[in-house]
A and B are shown apart, each in its own frame.
Chain A
Amino acid sequence: MRPFDQISHAISRSRREFLRDAAGVTLGSTLLRSPLARAAAVSKNRKVVVITFGGGARDQVTFAPEGQGDVPNMMRNLIPRATFFTQVVNHGILGHYVATASLATGAYETINNFAGLPPENPTVFEYYRKELKRPSSDAWVVAPSNGFNHIGESSHRSFGPGLGARVILPKHLLTAAMGSGPANYEHLLRDNYETPYYTPELSGGEVELEQLENLLKLSVVDFKAHARTLSSPDELSVYIAKQLMRQVAPSLLWITMHDIDIAHAGTYSLYVEGIRRTDQLCAEVWKAIESEPEYSGKTTLLILPDFGRDSDEDAGGNGFQHHRTGDPLSRTTWLIAMGPGIREGVVHDRPVDSLDLVPTIGSMMGFSASLSKGRPITEIV
């Protein structure tokens, strides 16, 4: 075993031991494959919701023993009903946009993290829509910052234009809704924490303000009024996502969280606050899945960080603040999978690659991710 693999394995083992004690989960390798899972593997009505738990969360404030108090909703409400993978390794570039694009394509993207470019490989949305001939209303992305406006559709010549997901950038919508009126919403408009001055021009296929009412059945006045009650950009994203689920009910919905990335400012308290908020929002999304008739009983929820953050022990980094060293802790994360046909309270500690997400969704929904470099995660398809 290479040194990196040994450390990744150690990280996953500590998560497993902790989860077994704290959440009463069972080691997955001791179980037989579920016949229910097989039956539910491909269903025409199956829906998938993906949450990227970002940007970048370390073990210490999630599933390591000392982090348990920071993710109470996942510990109490989600993990016992989920299959949990302790060792999801991201071998790619650890920048939030490019890493999220890699998650969405199943291939390690090498696009400039700050250039506002579409992924080069086909996205999961394009595979889904092209192969199953689904309309554009059936695949959506809710993304945090303007830099993500191209995430729904690749530049791949066999896919690309017209085949991707529709993208909602809630902060962009709110900015448009604010117009020149009184500005009481700035706390929801924080953008890129790593390079705070970076606000790329929008030129993708994102939803515009005038479509808010038609699509989401939400007036600008109501949108602004509700936004005023929220405290962070991710809360705004989840609010829009729930509205989308209620009004449009897409079969493939991707929500990218980003509050945690405040860690780049070096303030530990705000980083932990971001983790706690994201934990709560994940539980809210699951609650919405269970309560919305279009989703209840037929939806798989997949939650995973885009990557981790640097370890305290790596002298080349500065602990939780960044994800620049490429050390094992910054590359090794986890995955929660829950929904019909997926075993509850099970933990697997075999290594899973970040790229495995797209082919896994393909197996669940009945399309092939032909250009993806990953492999379906057999335990949940």
Chain B
Amino acid sequence: MLPRELKADQFSSYPSEAKALAVENLAVLRELPLSFIPSLLREVIEFDYKFPAERNALERELANLSHLSSTERSDLMQGFSSITVSARLEHFDWVNFPAQFVEQLSAHLWTTHQLDTFRLAANAYADCLHAAVPAQAPPIPRLGITVVGASVDSYREPLFRKLRPHGAYFSDVVPENGLEALLAAVAERAKVHARPYAHWYIDGGESVAHSPSLTTVSYAALDPVRAALLRKMHAEIEKPGMGPEALRTTMAQLRPVDLGLGAPGNDVLDRFQVKLLTEGSGTQIFSTSFTQWAAREALRRAEPTTLLVRFAPRQRQKPMNELLSPDAGSAELDPVGSLIDADMGAYYNWLNQQRLPGAEVSAFLAWFEEHNSAVVIGPTVPRGTVSNKSTDMKQLLSWIV
């Protein structure tokens, strides 16, 4: 089926708000090329479970497309229109399974050497969209905090090498009550600037005591969910003919209730957490991978004003089959390897934060937990500088917040 043949009743299986959004924009959806529209519908179909920032961005994108003339829309979509889509993809039920279509389209683009053309089209579209619908800056400058190195007694290699050129490195931070100070600062921001899903705390282990006003994700709290997921993966892989693509499709269709989540009123965060485990790579087995991916997705999707991320030790590497076994016993930990993972993770957290609106005034702090090293980045912090003077966490925060 081609987009021009779209009808309102084809969205009947969409959740209520998603259906309304699709029907409301049916006229413009009909004019979009097949290489583009499933990517948009993949977002629309999830509308009921999206964070406020995502809902707002999607509504603004659709409004922008609707306000364009046919000629302007055609020009905007020119790159996508030049993509050749196979007959098999045309016959795919891309209205009801847009994510699966996008996955198959991706394979088609690689196979037919059209990926570069698609990349150019996607980048050009994103540029035009950002120009027409500027992203909205947060009400206060964004603050990102990443804490690394839990359970590491000593580490002699230099840390935060990738972050240091962008801010100031402090080598004599008083570690006592450091985490408490950070959590207090985050809680204060959440109290003064309360908004849904605006202030987050992600912990790679068990979360420590924190303000209930924070949106919290913890790897340890998801242990039963991970175990349920691994059991399902094992059961699926035992089925005849099950390959990696079929497994991925099955995992993508899992709902919170399938994995023991699904408390009333918690749909959005539950869906988010399930996606971290079903769509992330390595998130099911390594807490450092989970933590980095959770931070990346929180920033990309919820665009939080405040994000505190604390990495915890992951399990030591073992054979994949053993790592993925739902019956695996208690795991031996690898604190130093986890510190190296988290050091890179801190850099990625900052990079992902800087991709959001208001980057020029945002602030970032990374700290080696219970140790003396920290780096701070902010609009008033001199870049590439080093301070050996004794300081504490409150003072560090006062310079960037």
Contact = CB atoms under 8 A, between A and B. Distances in A.
B245 A114 contact: yes
A114 B243 contact: yes
B244 A198 contact: yes
Greatest chain A CB density within 10 A among B161, B319, B322, B355 is at B319
A325 interface: yes
B2 interface: no
B283 interface: yes
Contacts of A272: 340
B305 interface: no
Q: How large is the interface on A (under 10, 10 to 19, 20 to 34, 35 or more residues)?
A: 35 or more
A266 B292 contact: yes
Contacts of A159: none
A196 B320 contact: yes
B244 A326 contact: no
Interface in B83-120: 110-113, 115-116, 119
A54 B320 CA distance: 18
Contact of A321 (B247, B281, B324): B281
A195 interface: yes
Given A93-B110, A315-B355, A326-B119, A267 B286 contact: yes
Given A266-B282, A268-B340, A312 B247 contact: no
A267 B237 contact: no
Contacts of B58: none
Greatest chain B CB density within 10 A among A92, A114, A265, A312 is at A265
Contact of B237 (A187, A197, A320, A325): A197
A248 B280 CA distance: 44
B337 A187 contact: no
A318 B296 contact: yes
B285 to A, nearest CB: 7
B113 A108 contact: yes
Interface string B281-304: 111011011001100100000000
B126 to A, nearest CB: 9
A186 B322 contact: yes
Interface in A316-335: 316, 318-322, 325-327
A94 B344 CA distance: 24
B320 A191 contact: yes
Contact of A264 (B282, B296, B352): B282
A99 B136 CA distance: 41
A262 interface: yes
A272 B157 CA distance: 15
B293 A318 contact: yes
Contacts of A270: 317, 337
Contacts of B285: 265
B121 to A, nearest CB: 13
Given A108-B113, A267-B286, A196 B292 contact: no
B318 A196 contact: no
A266 B355 contact: no
A325 B119 contact: yes
A262 B288 CA distance: 14
A113 to B, nearest CB: 9
Contacts of A367: none
Contacts of B237: 197
A193 B281 CA distance: 10
B244 A265 contact: no
A110 interface: yes
A194 to B, nearest CB: 8
A268 B288 CA distance: 9
B281 A322 contact: yes
Contacts of B317: 262, 267, 270
A190 B319 contact: yes
A184 to B, nearest CB: 11
B314 interface: yes
Interface in B250-294: 280-283, 285-286, 288-289, 292-293
Interface string A301-320: 00000000000110110111
A7 interface: no
B27 interface: no
B352 to A, nearest CB: 8
Interface in B337-359: 337-338, 340-341, 343-345, 347-348, 351-352, 355
A314 to B, nearest CB: 9
A338 to B, nearest CB: 32
Nearest to A188: B319
A321 B111 CA distance: 22
Contact of A189 (B319, B334, B351): B319
B321 interface: yes
Contacts of B345: 268
B233 interface: yes
Nearest to A111: B111
A224 interface: no
Nearest to A313: B351
Nearest to B352: A315
A98 B283 CA distance: 26
A262 B318 CA distance: 11
Interface in A163-212: 186-187, 189-191, 193-198
B309 to A, nearest CB: 14
15 contacts: A95-B110, A110-B111, A193-B320, A196-B321, A196-B324, A197-B237, A264-B281, A265-B281, A266-B282, A266-B341, A268-B343, A313-B351, A321-B281, A322-B281, A326-B115
Interface of B: 110-113, 115-116, 119, 122, 161, 233, 237, 243-245, 247-248, 280-283, 285-286, 288-289, 292-293, 296, 314, 317-324, 334, 336-338, 340-341, 343-345, 347-348, 351-352, 355
Interface of A: 4, 66, 91-95, 108, 110, 114-115, 186-187, 189-191, 193-198, 262, 264-270, 272, 312-313, 315-316, 318-322, 325-327
Given A114-B244, A198-B243, 13 more contacts: A93-B111, A186-B318, A195-B248, A196-B323, A197-B247, A265-B285, A267-B288, A269-B337, A312-B347, A318-B292, A318-B348, A321-B282, A327-B119
